[in-house]
Amino acid sequence: MPSPRQEIYATTHEGLIFTAGGLAEGASAVRDDFLAYDPTSDSWRELPDLPAARHHITLSTLGDVIYAVGGFSGGFPDWRPEASAYAFDLARGEWRDLPNLPVARGEHVSAVADGRIFVIGGRVGGTEGAASFTEHRDTGRVDVFDPATGMWSRGIDAPTARNSAASAVIDGQIYVVGGRQYLGQADGSGVNVNVAALEVFDPETGLWSVRAPMPRGAGGLAAAAVDGKLYVFGGEQWSPSQEVFADGWVYDPATDAWAAMPDLNVPRHGLAAAAIDTRIFTIGGATETGAGDVDAHEMLTVAR
């Protein structure tokens, strides 16, 4: 990447991969740059900056528009969840404001299905004006943006409240996997506990279903879909020990089963993943729990 960063997401459009914002400089600096990667030329280029610096801001593509939703402002631990939403018109090359999310949030996932953007889970302010990581709470809340009406509506909550999960769309259904929960303890402290759950939302029926969990739960992992299968990479854990994962896993919906894939060369969390045809790109992230942002960029080709 042009510079190291973590806590980023990616989306694709016409053979290009886009990512925006993120944390840098040991999770103390928040970025506002908007970047495009061209696998054909193996090169990056800079696009107009985000309207505001954000990390954990999700990107989703619908038509010729990229939607950037939510995220946090501020470096750790002063993370303020934001309700802002923006749209980048790829034809005009400019950003515009969208109506705010009904509830400010970060560490969520977003996905496009049925012509709408679904924003799922994450962390919301547990107190009025919450601006610190310890003041947030996990949610399973779903908010849905319809570009045709320009309005948000409430979706059906996910079964599991979690943050730092990953998602991908397969056959029009949204797969949400991994992540973690921040659980309060009796002494007033909190602990991050990883989640292995895989849950699938079908917009046609409006129902969630629970599938086989990951072999090992991971927070801050990345996911992409290729040929009807779900691929996940990396992540971290804070409890019972601090560790950053290189794991690669693939899930087959036809058999409801997971299998191991080649590990990342660089173990990391807070990375982004995107698929172009049969190639999966894993971008950025961090090599230490909560810090260690890197510019790593790897590619895995999936055999057909």
Could you report the per-residue pLDDT of 256-272, keeping only the tens digit for each?
Answer: 999 999 999 999 999 99
The answer to whether position 158 is within a domain reads: yes
Q: Are 274 and 8 in contact (CB under 8 A)?
A: no
**Residue 84: which CATH number?**
2.120.10.80
Helix and strand numbers (H, E) in the chain are 0, 35
Pick the closest to residue 60 from 118, 11, 120, 7 (CA basis): 11
The answer to whether position 1 is within a domain reads: no
Pick the closest to residue 112 from 154, 80, 144 (CA basis): 144
Residue type, 269: H
The answer to whether position 2 is within a domain reads: no
Confidence of residue 78 (pLDDT cuts 50, 70, 90): confident
Pick the closest to residue 57 from 81, 77, 91 (CA basis): 81
Q: How many CB atoms lie within 10 A of CB 252?
A: 13
The tokens describing 291, both together, are 């810090």
The answer to whether position 4 is within a domain reads: no
Compute the distance between CA of residue 140 and CA of residue 147 in angstroms, rounded to an integer: 23
Confidence of residue 126 (pLDDT cuts 50, 70, 90): low
The answer to whether position 270 is within a domain reads: yes
What is the pLDDT at residue 127? 65
Q: Are 28 and 20 in contact (CB under 8 A)?
A: no
Q: In this structure, what are the phi and psi dihedrals at residue 134, rounded to the nearest 5 degrees?
A: -70, -10
Average per-residue pLDDT for the chain:
95
Q: pTM for the complete prediction?
A: 0.96
Could you report the per-residue pLDDT of 184-224, keeping only the tens digit for each?
Answer: 777 777 889 999 999 999 999 999 999 999 999 999 999 99
Region 97-103 average pLDDT: 97
What is the pLDDT at residue 136? 84
Flag whether pLDDT at 108 surpasses 90.
yes
Compute the distance between CA of residue 5 and CA of residue 234 in angstroms, rounded to an integer: 15
Pick the closest to residue 209 from 173, 241, 235 (CA basis): 173
The tokens describing 173, both together, are 């259904």
Compute the distance between CA of residue 180 and CA of residue 218 in angstroms, rounded to an integer: 7
Compute the distance between CA of residue 159 and CA of residue 169 in angstroms, rounded to an integer: 18
Could you report the per-residue pLDDT of 141-156, keeping only the tens digit for each?
Answer: 999 999 999 999 999 9
Compute the distance between CA of residue 11 and CA of residue 224 in angstroms, rounded to an integer: 10
Could you report the per-residue pLDDT of 241-253, keeping only the tens digit for each?
Answer: 999 999 999 999 9
**216 contacts: CB under 8 Å, gap ≥ 6:** 194, 196, 245, 247
Chain centroid to CA 269? 11
Q: Are 95 and 86 in contact (CB under 8 A)?
A: yes
Q: 115 exposed, middle or buried (CB, 10 Å; 0-12, 13-18, 19+)?
A: exposed
Region 225-234 average pLDDT: 98
Pick the closest to residue 234 from 171, 176, 285 (CA basis): 285
The answer to whether position 182 is within a domain reads: yes
Question: Which string of DSSP letters, residue by residue, matches 162-184?
Answer: -BS-EEEEETTEEEEE--EEEEE
Share of the chain above pLDDT 70, in %: 98
**Sole residue written with tokens 């889970």:** 121
What is the pLDDT at residue 128? 66
The range of the structural domain enclosing residue 225 comes to 10-301
Please tell me the total count of domains within the chain: 1
Q: Which helix (H) or strand (E) holds 110?
A: strand 109-113
